[in-house]
Amino acid sequence: MANNKLNRMTSRDDDFSKWYTDVVTQANLIEYGPVKGTMIFKPYGFGIWELIMQNLDKEFKKLDVENVYLPLLIPASLFQKEKDHIEGFAPEVLTVTKVGDKQLDEDLYIRPTSEVLFSQYFKNNIQSYRDLPIKNNQWVNVMRWEKNTRPFLRTSEFLWQEGHTMHSTPQEAQEFARTMLDVYTKFANEYLLLPVVPGIKTEKERFNGAKETYTIESLMYDGQALQSGTSHYLGDNFSKVYDINFQNKESGVEHPYGTSWGVTTRLIGALIMTHSDDQGLVLPSKVAPTQVQIIQIKNDDEQIVEVSKKLKQDLMDTFRVKIDDSDKSFGFKISEAEIKGIPLRIEVGPRDLQNGVVTISARDNQEKTQVKLDEVVDFVTKEITNYDERLFTRAKNNLATHTFEAKTIDEYEKGINTKPGLYLVPFCGRVECEEEVKKRTSTNSRCIPFEYDHSEEPCFNCGMKTTIKAYFGRAY
Amino acid sequence: MANNKLNRMTSRDDDFSKWYTDVVTQANLIEYGPVKGTMIFKPYGFGIWELIMQNLDKEFKKLDVENVYLPLLIPASLFQKEKDHIEGFAPEVLTVTKVGDKQLDEDLYIRPTSEVLFSQYFKNNIQSYRDLPIKNNQWVNVMRWEKNTRPFLRTSEFLWQEGHTMHSTPQEAQEFARTMLDVYTKFANEYLLLPVVPGIKTEKERFNGAKETYTIESLMYDGQALQSGTSHYLGDNFSKVYDINFQNKESGVEHPYGTSWGVTTRLIGALIMTHSDDQGLVLPSKVAPTQVQIIQIKNDDEQIVEVSKKLKQDLMDTFRVKIDDSDKSFGFKISEAEIKGIPLRIEVGPRDLQNGVVTISARDNQEKTQVKLDEVVDFVTKEITNYDERLFTRAKNNLATHTFEAKTIDEYEKGINTKPGLYLVPFCGRVECEEEVKKRTSTNSRCIPFEYDHSEEPCFNCGMKTTIKAYFGRAY
């Protein structure tokens, strides 16, 4: 098959990092922006994000979450009130100091996250227990200046949703933070076909300003983990600092309890590093901007043009379908559809049409099936489900074969350096201990899973008796 | 009717400006952000914007426009290349100079608009005539530091869409800019029920960097105009400056021709100042987050609760419908629905239910109709159309009764100061002449309409012979 483009793509087993860059650029997802670490989402890349937004937003709305928009800029003085929070973000916050040539009276921070502004907003909108719970979300851009950037995974500006809620009791807030993690887990599984390990962050890895951080961790093809969504139980940290109060049913005054939760455009990075291969992008059907590409073997044959249009018509109620009727060569069109990770291809050619069939193939296994014209809709409907199942199964296998246990730091160190993956270890949970592990292995804990065997064992690093187990591993 | 809230609303005939602020805050659309001139879109206010986005985006996609996302920050050096463009925006551009405590090597501007970045993007993505036209759009936040701000109308940060296209010929680009103005006109009429005057901006009022600016101007209840959407034909201005080239069919190299076009959250301001009244907001049904509010006269009566649920069930496939089952007083619920401008109210009460009816009233005329339970869906379907028609008719009447002609600057000056509105005047089109008019009357031209009588007449201000006529007036 003539395939000039593919020849330029690095193999993922040879150089995973270079392969990743090849995929994101050759699949036309992004290009680099003029400011360091920024990224232009091209139509195909933004299309994936649009589908993530649309579908995840529906799940939020089912939980009575309402969308809002809070300002981009936060006055420095306001931000500095919550000490842990500012400490965590200060080194990477972009600061506006001027308008035109004029110095501003006060520095303004570009939001790295919006707990601070939401706190102000909640303060103004919560008086009584009747105002609670209050559940808001926004789909916005945020900025965190990063030293080492990679498309989608770590960029100075990224797109995300940040949800913020307030509740009258700690139980309700904590429960809501957990519920949102379940929403993320379900979404990762069903839409992105990402198997994830849900759990709790250790104290060291906790969000600055949170009492507890829940996370879903996914595992990339190369055995490295990727934090794919977090949900924080904030307790009354922000309520106290920003003076948010409500009158309870007994007319007493209390601080409400908060949560915040978010997923970002790095989910697209997770998709790529989980499903894609040496031929380019492989997209789960639910977030594929084009699910079915109809490729005409000739674009000047009347019957081919007609059948293509008819097929598109038949499929478009249920699927996102496109005809490639360009005058590029057939081989080039196939390559393009492959590189872009379009789940199903329908080839419409003269020989097949003589037999009343078209040839359908799936992006992942490339098996070709000849399908009668009047059976195309049925076939596509079934095959797209099978395709998604195959992707999810492969990803689950990858997670399973990269999940290990270790009992000592030596065992862990040797393991992580030879067989990358997630290592379940007995862990004391102390910040200092984790810092030692990090110093020695350059790896972090990923999470304390929700379910594990709680038998008492010595911490894998310091030997202190513990009933906690945590996953450690290298991460993006 | 018990109505504490309404008493606090200023009458629009007494103090239009204060009335406007009362409506936006009491209808719970926004509150002010901590940074001067910024605004928090509360759920109800953002809900209107979501409906505008969803519906307008569909119209863009019909024209094969694809969404993208370009970075927030623009390097100062890059911005400064197009001289007119930077001159127009420089005084109001917010500038990032630091990250944490560290000075950046180069100042970064927060986008006031993105022609500059799109130019870079187009440069990288246009090689041949085959790549044209290229049609992109983004829904984003932008910032322009404003001295005098008003919610929605003029804010330091606002939300908008900015479309950017490139074409191989000036004709095609110009035509596309006009097509987009037609899309805006249609959308303003059909979704926002805003009658608009479409036309061309004078040289003085043209967008910095454009060859031609098309605009739709709407007219508020108080007779002041509001620029409600613009579409610019950029010619090859940006192509030349940013070195965008393509190979034409004859293998020659040419600069492509551009357009850009946008509408902003000020459309919500236009809505308010066109339709709302002394009882609060009045929303066109197509952009009303809640179209039908079911109000229970008692919320502890089993039959009322059941009928309310059933009605909601029946209506929710076609309409955005909510039940107010709170324990607030009936009068308070009515007031709230009024203030929020919900198009139709269904009151479910015990006496009506004995007769198998509910009482339906529309926000604008408050006429009450008793409707049989099994006829509610039909009635609502018809009445919501009638409601929209009444709103549009009223707005058109307001435009008609505020549209005048003037032949001399004296006549215009006297008119604009006693009968505010749009004045069609013979105008030479010169920047200096328009500046004189502005100095004298503090008003601007709004547009040169697409259709008018082209007979030669003396310019209303300088007396120079002209066949051009333009609308002048006071504007937000």
Q: Does A122 touch chain B (CB under 8 A)?
A: no
ipTM surpasses cut 0.85: yes
- Say which DSSP state A355 is in: T
A68 closest CB neighbour out of B43, B67, B140: B43
Candidates 2.10.109.10, 3.30.565.10, 3.40.640.10, 3.30.110.30; CATH matching B403-473? 3.30.110.30
Token pair belonging to B168: 């191989």
Give pLDDT, residue A2: 36
Show the DSSP H helices in B340-375 as ranges.
Answer: 350-354
Q: Does A305 touch chain B (CB under 8 A)?
A: no
Q: How confident is the model at residue B90 (pLDDT cuts 50, 70, 90)?
A: confident
Chain A environment of B31 (Cβ under 8 Å):
121, 124-125
Token pair belonging to A426: 């007995």
Give pLDDT, residue A298: 87
Phi (first) and psi of residue A58, to 5 degrees: -60, -40
How far apart are the C-alpha atoms of B433 and B461, rounded to whole Å? Answer: 7
Put simply, the answer to whether A47 touches B66 (Cβ < 8 Å) is yes
- Reported as a single tens digit per residue, the pLDDT across B267-320 is 999 999 999 999 999 999 999 999 999 999 988 899 999 999 999 999 999 999
- Contact (CB, 8 A) for B27 and B288: no
- Contact (CB, 8 A) for A122 and A141: no
CA neighbor of B164 nearest in space, from B231, B71, B253, B109: B231
Q: Are strands B157-167 and B102-110 parallel, antiparallel or unpaired?
A: unpaired
Give pLDDT, residue B7: 53
Judged by CB atoms within 8 Å, which residues 135-194 of A form the interface with B? 136, 140-141, 143, 145, 157, 159
Put simply, the answer to whether A69 touches B40 (Cβ < 8 Å) is yes
Give pLDDT, residue B343: 98
- Contact (CB, 8 A) for B391 and B364: yes
- Contact (CB, 8 A) for A53 and A139: yes
Q: For domain A290-389, which architecture applies?
A: 3-Layer(aba) Sandwich (3.40)
Share of chain B above pLDDT 90, in %: 92
Q: What is the mean pLDDT of each run of 10 residues along chain A (476 residues)?
A: 55 96 96 95 98 98 98 94 82 95 95 95 96 98 94 97 98 98 98 98 95 98 97 96 96 97 98 97 98 93 95 97 91 95 97 96 95 98 98 98 98 97 98 98 97 96 98 97
CA distance, residue B195 to nearest chain A CA (Å)? 28
Put simply, the answer to whether A70 touches B33 (Cβ < 8 Å) is yes
Q: Are strands B403-405 and B422-426 parallel, antiparallel or unpaired?
A: parallel
CATH number of B290-390: 3.40.50.800
Nearest-10 Cα torsion for B334, B337, B338, B342: -140
Best residue of B39, B40, B328 to probe chain A, by most A CBs closer than 10 Å: B40
Tell me the C-alpha to C-alpha distance, in Å, between residue B304 and each of A476, B300, B319, B324.
56, 8, 20, 12
- Nearest chain B residue to A40 by CA distance is B70
Q: Residue ranges per domain, chain A?
A: 4-275, 290-389, 403-473
Put simply, the answer to whether A121 touches B40 (Cβ < 8 Å) is yes
DSSP A40-52: EE-HHHHHHHHHH
How far apart are the C-alpha atoms of A190 and A188, rounded to whole Å? Answer: 6
Neighbours of A235 (CB within 10 A): 19
A96 closest CB neighbour out of B33, B92, B110: B110
Buried b / exposed e along A10-48 (16+ C-beta atoms within 10 A): bebeeebeebbebbbebbbbbbbbbbbbbbbbbbbbbbb
How far apart are the C-alpha atoms of A431 and B400, rounded to whole Å? Answer: 72
- Say which DSSP state B150 is in: B
DSSP B175-198: HHHHHHHHHHHHHHHHTS---EEE
How far apart are the C-alpha atoms of B33 and A71, rounded to whole Å? Answer: 7
- Reported as a single tens digit per residue, the pLDDT across B307-363 is 999 999 999 999 999 999 888 899 999 999 999 999 999 999 999 999 999 999 999
How far apart are the C-alpha atoms of B94 and A108, rounded to whole Å? Answer: 10
Query: What integer best gives the mean pLDDT of chain B?
Result: 95
- Contact (CB, 8 A) for A388 and A284: yes
* Residue at A167: amino acid letter: H
Average pLDDT in the B113-117 region?
A: 94
Give pLDDT, residue A7: 53
Chain A environment of B40 (Cβ under 8 Å):
68-71, 117, 121
CATH number of B4-275: 3.30.930.10
